Amino acid sequence: MNRCSDLKLALVQTSLYWEQRDANLAHLEQRLEQCQGAHLIVLPEMFTTGFSMTPAGVAEPADGPTLAWLRTQAARLQTVITGSVMVRTDGGGYRNRLFWVGGDQHAHYDKRHLFRMAGEHQRYQAGERALTVTLNGWRVRPLICYDLRFPVWSRDARNTDLLLYVANWPAPRRLHWNRLLAARAIENQCYVAAVNRIGEDGNGHPYSGDSRALDFNGEVLADAGDRDQVMHVTLNQAALADYREAFPAWQDADRFTLELP
């Protein structure tokens, strides 16, 4: 690990227009003006629609207008942008897909754990592989919302410097959100950054935000509360390396093989 390279994040916490892609992209483009200087810009889950269970009428092709928009914005700002979108696959199914776009990096991750309490598992196909990307020497593992509840899927302390969650996590379960984020940071001895939306969706569900960044000790470095804002935070790579060297619990983690159903 290059101990001199810090990582600058811009976490975009905002409300979303229900199932209105163009309105959301116009709104977010204004927010991106506040993200200048960030190495990585993080948008919420399903940032073009809100957490909608009607993909048949709203989803776009995987290589559709939102991916083109992400490429344009990443090039304009000379950064990497990530967030998830509902997409239609070539086989006719639907995925809750996180795009990672910027420079020569164009990767994606499909949400593994689908929120059955909303029927997401009946309308979308689950992802089958995790994604780890490298940015400025940082090993980043992006995940989506409900994935946060499943520590085995997040677990890779040997190969992860930053766990990244994008979400539409409802306000009634904000206690779970905040405590699980700290747990993931502590058990993996890595930084955690998480972006949630605010406002109310088309089904009347409220969202409290609580986008935040935490260090490897579970301490909160930045917290957006319930405000509409772009929150900037810089993660210190030397501090992470020093902590892991001084308290190398990661070396005693159990090895395991993950079996997908």
Which residues form the catalytic set?
45, 111, 145
Could you tell me which of 83, 79, 82, 119 has the C-alpha nearest to residue 103? 79
What is the SS3 assignment for 147? helix
Q: Which residues pair with 133 in a beta bridge?
A: 140
**How far, in Å, CA of 21 to CA of 111, rounded?**
20
Torsion angle of alpha carbons 169, 181, 131, 91, nearest 10°?
-20
**How far, in Å, CA of 72 to CA of 66, rounded?**
10
Q: Which residue type, as a one-letter code, is found at position 121?
A: H
- Is the distance from CB of 202 to CB of 51 less than 8 angstroms? no
With a CB cutoff of 8 Å and minimum separation 6, the contacts of 244 are 189, 216, 250
Tokens of 55: 């993909």
- Is the distance from CB of 191 to CB of 216 less than 8 angstroms? yes
- Is the distance from CB of 45 to CB of 144 less than 8 angstroms? yes
Neighbours of 124 (CB within 10 A): 23
Tokens of 246: 């001084």
Tokens of 186: 């502590």
**How far, in Å, CA of 214 to CA of 173, rounded?**
19
